[in-house]
Amino acid sequence: MRILRLPMNKVAVPLSLLRKGDKAIIVSLDDSAISIKLMEMGCMPGEFLEVDYIAPLGDPISIRIGNYLLGLRKDEAVAIKVIKQ
Amino acid sequence: MSEQKKIIIALAGNPNCGKTSLFNVLTGMRQKVGNFPGVTVDKKTGVLFLNDKTEALVVDLPGTYSIYPRRIDEMVTFDVLANPDNDSHPDVIVLLADASNLKRNLLFCTQVIDMGIPTVIALNMMDVAEKNNIRIDVSKLEEELGVPVIPMNARDGKGVDKLLKILSADVLKPKRNFIDIQKLCGEATELSNKIPYSNEYEAALLAVLHKELTDFPEEKHKLIDEWVAEKKFIAARFQAEEVLQRYNSINRVVQNCVNEEQKENKSLENTSRIDKILLHPAWGYLIFLGVFFFVFQAIFAWAQYPMDLISSVFSSAGNYLHDLLPAGMINDLLIQGLWAGIGGVVVFIPQIMLLFGFITILEDTGYMARVSFLMDKLMRSTGLSGKSTVPLISGMACAIPAIMSTRNIESWKDRIITIMVVPFMSCSARLPVYTLLISFAVPSQTIFGIFNIRGMWMLGLYLFGFLSAIVAAFIMKLIIKTKEKSLFLMELPIYRLPRWGNVGVTMLEKAKVFVTDAGKIIVAISIVLWFLASYGPGNEIQEVEKKFTDTAFTSQFDAIELDALQQSEKLTHSYAGHIGHFIEPAIMPLGFDWKIGISLITAFAAREVFVGTIATIYSVGSTGDMDMNKLRARMHSEINPQTGEKVFSFATVVSLMIFFALAMQCMSTIAVVRRETKSWKWPMIQLFYMTGVAYLASFITYQLLK
């Protein structure tokens, strides 16, 4: 768990590690099938996002990207690498 | 006389962008629900009169974020647009785009434009965009996209006139390209030359998706396969690079046409504020429970009034017609077979309409997406998904509307599993059966001052049904294989007021689809069941009738007793009675005799028929004027002539409860599963696996308690 305490504004981390209210910029997407779907939904490198909500049971999460809210499971969010703002 | 022209207009666009509203505005009540050939997807069409010369057939295509489908029904969109031989291939496509969220919507728009189909863009939700300080330069956007763009608000019909005007003129094929196909996949030119009617982009799309097309000629498949092998075409890479290139073009378009003030987005802020309550760890679930308690109450309790009314109207009209028409077999067939069958279909309409009224309101407002969001993790641990919540809860009232509501589950596997386990939930038809059996076997006693033991048994049976559904889902998750991965990935739409017109249209449409599609099967099966219960081999039934005309015999009883006795004997000698005898060896280990066997057969029409049949067999009169106490007394005194023991022992009654909790005994459910999966495979699997499980569980129960 120590890794989580490293300053996240320098390294790219999976979106699934962010907490509620965190703002971040997408730097890359994994080379996986889900990535194409994520990109189609607007999760492109260079886009800003904000973690709007995390479901009470810890999964899924809701992010604000572009002008809308996107709900996704944590195992889907892993494919998105972000740098915290 | 001027020549009539008929054209096809397709409506397409992202989900949640107001497609249904526009479809309703354009076609009014001139709508029809059919289905796309070869797939289990509803095809909504409607007629639109553009002018005296042109009549348009409007086809509502499933909403999608991209031309690359992520589920079966989105494949239809590609099939219709890319395949000129498809019946619904449009002359013009109206693309809906959400103005408040243009960037994401433009991905699909530019894909369609690149396919070269004449396109008009309906820029919807202008009101939301304006409210949030998003200004769009429409003429500039038209120029950038190379197709007509019409700003509108489909909810209140604004901009629709202008759309109609554009549509009545000829819409030209767009010429703009948003990707550099030569750079992306230069070899596509060669493929597009081989496949008629396709441009380079379409050819590349076919290379990615042709295996999923339903009705695509074999030689073209071969042609594409050869090309793919020769050029070492990698679909995933093409898709990823296409999306990247596209967003580059889209970013440029958006920069040039959209002026977004960096003020707060009011709609999203409001939505976040409401989410704070509705997704709250405590309030969120409480509100969820409250909302669904209300919905459940409506379909469980309130629907009962119109249902009782329908039943009594059908039965008194049936009696009236029965007396009116000349007696005989035709009369019986029409009234007891056909008319009763139709009544059995119509009686479900209140529940279906109420449930879909609520579902549409919850969806329109945006709450339904939150229900999935709240429940996803919990449901996923059982093999279902957040979207299975509503069908499962509705299943506690009735499996019919519940199974119809699985439409919202995108993942095919999640949907099939949900359909397969919903009938385990204790529906309202089991209630009369449980009531009879519990009141028979369990004494009415109060424990701890407040809890009635009978009530506890009832609760136990409901829990048993629920647990069975969960366990079955879990097992099926391991058995059913699919290459499709279950995705959650969904838009959480902003909260809005429901569109009441839309609610009404959906309620009517669902009732119509049920009556026309599932209704036929229900009527057919009920006629068969009626025949089995009213006719017998040889002249056995006539023998019974003869016996009851013999005054020496009949004078011992009064008229009511006589009627009950005659009905009982007729049923005993009918085909159903014979089948009851025939299956007796098979159901003996469950503690059932042949009389219970008959009731199990007739209960296939609907579970509650069990009570009426038992009453008829024990000649305590038919359902109408049945006396429960009399029935219970009669059941108590029933002795098995072979063993000399009571037929309805405690073990038998509990075994019966377990059987009713688990068995698939509802022809209407079978009909609706057949309609929803568009094949007989799934309803048959369901019938056999559920009844098999029920048999096994009842067997164990009886053998343990005996």
Element holding A71 (H helix, E strand): strand A68-72
Ordered by where they begin, the domains of chain A are 8-84 (2.30.30.90)
Interface touch B374/A52, C-beta < 8 Å = no
Interface touch A66/B489, C-beta < 8 Å = no
Task: Tell me the shortest Cα–Cα distance from A59 to chain B, in angstroms.
Answer: 6
Same domain flag for B11 and B160: yes
* CA B6-B11-B12 angle, 5° bins: 145
pLDDT tens column, A34-83: 899 999 999 999 999 999 999 988 889 999 998 899 999 999 999 999 99
Residue that finishes a domain, picked among B233, B260, B287: B260
Selection from B458, B463, B404 nearest residue B432 by Cα: B458
pLDDT, residue B1, reads 44
Q: Please tell me the distance from the alpha carbon of residue B670 to that of residue B365, in angstroms, as a whole number.
A: 32
Same domain flag for B142 and B200: no
Same domain flag for B146 and B231: no
pLDDT tens column, B592-605: 988 899 889 888 88
Burial annotation B511-534 (CB, 10 A radius, 16+ → b, else e): bbbbbebbbebbbebbbbbbbbbb
Nearest CA in chain B to A36: B240
pLDDT, residue A1, reads 39
Smallest Cβ–Cβ distance between B271 and the set A66, A69, A76 belongs to A69
Interface touch A39/B243, C-beta < 8 Å = yes
Q: Residue length, chain B?
A: 706
Interface touch A70/B373, C-beta < 8 Å = no
Residue that finishes a domain, picked among B260, B293, B317: B260
Q: Chain B contacts of A53, Cβ < 8 Å?
A: 272, 275, 279
Cis, bond preceding A60 (omega within 30 deg of 0): yes
Q: Please tell me the distance from the alpha carbon of residue B355 to that of residue B408, in angstroms, as a whole number.
A: 14
pTM of the model: 0.83
Q: Please tell me the distance from the alpha carbon of residue B620 to that of residue B616, in angstroms, as a whole number.
A: 6
Q: Chain A contacts of B283, Cβ < 8 Å?
A: none
Token pair listed for B459 = 């609760």
Interface touch A67/B271, C-beta < 8 Å = no
Same domain flag for B209 and B233: yes
Q: Is residue B48 assigned to a domain?
A: yes
Neighbours of B83 (CB within 10 A): 20
CB-CB contact of A12 with A82 (8 Å): yes
Rounded to an integer, what is the distance from CA B25 to the centroid of its chain? 24
Interface touch A41/B104, C-beta < 8 Å = yes
Residues 6+ apart with CB under 8 A from B162: B150, B152
Same domain flag for B539 and B677: yes
Same domain flag for B131 and B219: no
How large is the angle between the packed helices B283-297 and B349-365, nearest 10 degrees? 150
Instruction: List alpha helices for B146-234, DSSP H.
Output: 160-168, 181-185, 188-194, 200-209, 218-231
Q: Is residue B684 assigned to a domain?
A: yes
Interface touch A64/B268, C-beta < 8 Å = yes
Neighbours of B180 (CB within 10 A): 12
A37 touches chain B (CB under 8 A): yes
Q: What is the CATH number of the domain that holds B64?
A: 3.40.50.300
Interface touch A59/B377, C-beta < 8 Å = yes
Structural domain for B194, as ranges: 181-260
pLDDT, residue B595, reads 86
Smallest Cβ–Cβ distance between B376 and the set A53, A60, A69 belongs to A60
Q: Please tell me the distance from the alpha carbon of residue B67 to that of residue B238, in angstroms, as a whole number.
A: 13
Interface touch A35/B247, C-beta < 8 Å = no
Q: Chain A contacts of B68, Cβ < 8 Å?
A: 36, 40
Element holding A68 (H helix, E strand): strand A68-72
Neighbours of B668 (CB within 10 A): 25
pLDDT, residue B107, reads 95
CB-CB contact of B47 with B30 (8 Å): yes
Same domain flag for B655 and B575: yes
Smallest Cβ–Cβ distance between B377 and the set A40, A57, A69 belongs to A57
Q: Is residue B384 assigned to a domain?
A: no
Return phi, psi of residue B293, to 5°.
Answer: -65, -40
**Number of domains present in the structure of chain B:** 3
pLDDT, residue B38, reads 66
Task: Tell me the shortest Cα–Cα distance from B102 to chain A, in angstroms.
Answer: 8
Q: Is residue B252 assigned to a domain?
A: yes
Interface touch A56/B369, C-beta < 8 Å = no
CB-CB contact of B360 with B502 (8 Å): yes
DSSP B679: S
Interface touch B491/A44, C-beta < 8 Å = no
CB-CB contact of B547 with B568 (8 Å): no
Q: Is B42 helix (H, G, I), strand (E, B) or coil?
A: strand
Same domain flag for B163 and B218: no
Predicted complex ipTM: 0.88
Token pair listed for B383 = 């093999």
Q: Which residues of chain B have pLDDT under 50?
A: 1, 623-625
A71 touches chain B (CB under 8 A): yes
B382 touches chain A (CB under 8 A): no
Q: Please tell me the distance from the alpha carbon of residue A45 to that of residue A29, in angstroms, as a whole number.
A: 7
Per DSSP bridges, beta strands B149-151 and B258-260 are unpaired
Same domain flag for B608 and B670: yes
Instruction: List alpha helices for B574-680, DSSP H.
Output: 575-587, 594-602, 609-617, 628-637, 650-662, 667-677
Q: Please tell me the distance from the alpha carbon of residue B360 to that of residue B473, in angstroms, as a whole number.
A: 26
Q: Is residue B201 assigned to a domain?
A: yes
Task: Tell me the shortest Cα–Cα distance from A11 to chain B, in angstroms.
Answer: 23
Per DSSP bridges, beta strands B92-98 and B119-124 are parallel
Residues 6+ apart with CB under 8 A from B180: B245
**B interface mutation test: which of A15, A23, A40 has the most B CBs within 10 A?**
A40
Q: Is residue B465 assigned to a domain?
A: no
Q: Is residue B155 assigned to a domain?
A: yes
Q: Is B466 helix (H, G, I), strand (E, B) or coil?
A: helix
Smallest Cβ–Cβ distance between B284 and the set A37, A56, A73 belongs to A56
Q: Chain A contacts of B265, Cβ < 8 Å?
A: 67
pLDDT tens column, A4-18: 454 555 788 999 999
Rounded to an integer, what is the distance from CA B633 to the centroid of its chain? 42
**B interface mutation test: which of A37, A68, A70, A76 has the most B CBs within 10 A?**
A68
Q: What is the CA radius of gyration of chain B?
A: 30
Nearest CA in chain A to B376: A60
Task: Tell me the shortest Cα–Cα distance from A3 to chain B, in angstroms.
Answer: 26
Q: Is residue B583 assigned to a domain?
A: yes
Q: Chain B contacts of A76, Cβ < 8 Å?
A: 487-489
Interface touch A67/B491, C-beta < 8 Å = no
Same domain flag for B132 and B229: no
Same domain flag for B122 and B192: no
Same domain flag for B671 and B538: yes
pLDDT, residue B2, reads 53
Residue that finishes a domain, picked among B144, B168, B192: B168
Size of interface A-B (CB pairs under 8 A): 110
